[in-house]
Amino acid sequence: MRRSTRPVVLLWALLVPTFLAAQDDVPDALQAYRDGRYLEAIAITADEIEANPNNLESYVVRGWALNALNRSEEAIDSSLRALQINQFDSRILQIIGEAHFDAGNRLEALRYLERYVRVAPTGQYIDWVYYVMGEILIGLGEYHRADIALTTSVYHNSRNAIRWSRLGFARERIEEWALALEAYDRALQLNPTLADALAGRGRAQAALEG
């Protein structure tokens, strides 16, 4: 005789709402971060890491939230612990690079961003990484390298006027006037009122005409 499945179905119908409710009660650090609730995200990840010290995803969300609050030293310390779990995680390398950059540690930032490029040459943050590398290299007076970094940044993301303008500036510093003018023109196509690009275009045009 075929056994009735009705008791099983009824039991499952009773258990599913309880299970879903329990799932809803689990704090979601990533959602808290996405909602801008950074302190909550940090608190949740602290509990997660205490429960599982090798939870790399918790370290990632924690680093993002700490950087969002400009708590750079804490982001660095936390993410260095994460690198002991996986030294090749590009997200952690980006977090450390960003934290060092925000803290004014240009050479340390450059070191971690270069590691990011080696690990994830087409990674999610690659355009931003090359942009920050370009800014650091401009600050160090290494304008040829800055040109290369910023050219790569706009190759990966050509819709950012400020990055085109900074590329124009780097090219100005090595007296590549025609290429500088081209970069400033691209910046102004995206943002016709960008003051730095307008001034830079004027300088490049004057140099070409002089």
Res 26: pLDDT: 76
- The H helix count followed by the E strand count for the chain is 12, 0
Phi, psi at residue 169, to the nearest 5°?
A: -65, -45
Domains and CATH numbers, the chain: 24-105 (1.25.40.10), 125-210 (1.25.40.10)
- Nearest one of 84, 77, 73, 43 to 61, comparing CA atoms: 43
Counting Cβ atoms within 10 Å, is residue 74 exposed (0-12), middle (13-18) or buried (19+)?
Answer: middle
CA distance to 46, 47, 76, 197, per residue, from 51 (Å): 9, 6, 21, 51
Per-residue pLDDT of the chain (210 residues; tens, 9 = 90+): 444 444 444 444 445 454 444 445 678 999 999 999 999 999 999 999 999 999 999 999 999 999 999 999 999 999 999 999 999 999 999 999 999 999 999 999 999 999 999 999 999 999 999 999 999 999 999 999 999 999 999 999 999 999 999 999 999 999 999 999 999 999 999 999 999 999 999 999 999 998
Question: Model pTM?
Answer: 0.86
DSSP 3: P
